[in-house]
């Protein structure tokens, strides 16, 4: 049973560019959440997708957007990259978000903005 997968593993971008990160949830899960983790900090919630709609959003600017596809996979897009966007981006999946099920995390994408 494949767990949560993310691609790419690492990415280097230049300030002002745009980036797309991808996530496939664990089998049987239909909810995908995205988190940003800066070095030495805990993950910060970006947003959550369920039934192809953004259901909840954290304190992140509109430069951060996402999408969920019919097969439950998801993309995170970040426009106009800033140096401060350098972080580990984590995708987590779970069953129906209305109940406190545990979220399973992927290995993350390390984004470096230069």
Partner 1 sequence: EDQVTQSPEALRLQEGESSSLNCSYTVSGLRGLFWYRQDPGKGPEFLFTLYSAGEEKEKERLKATLTKKESFLHITAPKPEDSATYLCAVQAGWGKLQFGAGTQVVVTP
User: Where along the sequence are the contacts to partner 1 (CB under 8 A)?
Assistant: 4, 31, 33, 35, 40-45, 48, 50, 55-56, 58, 88, 90, 92, 94, 97-100, 102-108, 110
Beta bridge partners of 77: 20, 65
Nearer of residues 38 and 80 to partner 1, judged by Cβ: 38
Nearest approach, Cβ of residue 16 and partner 1 (Å): 26
Nearest approach, Cβ of residue 89 and partner 1 (Å): 10
What are the percentages of helix, strand and coil residues in the chain, rounded to 5?
A: 5, 50, 45
CA distance 114 to 5: 26
Distances (CA, A) of 38 to 85, 90, 101: 9, 11, 25
Nearer of residues 1 and 102 to partner 1, judged by Cβ: 102
Nearest approach, Cβ of residue 91 and partner 1 (Å): 8
């Amino acid at each position: 049973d494949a767990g949560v997968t993310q691609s790419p593993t690492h990415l280097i971008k230049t300030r002002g560019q745009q980036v797309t990160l991808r996530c496939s949830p664990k089998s049987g899960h239909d909810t995908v959440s995205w988190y940003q983790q800066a070095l030495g900090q805990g993950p910060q919630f970006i947003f959550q997708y369920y039934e192809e709609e953004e259901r909840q959003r954290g304190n992140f600017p509109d430069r951060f957007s996402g999408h969920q596809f019919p097969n439950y996979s998801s993309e995170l897009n970040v426009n106009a990259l800033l140096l401060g966007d350098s972080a580990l981006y984590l995708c987590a999946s779970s069953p129906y978000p209305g109940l406190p099920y545990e979220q399973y995390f992927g290995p993350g994408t390390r984004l470096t903005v230069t």
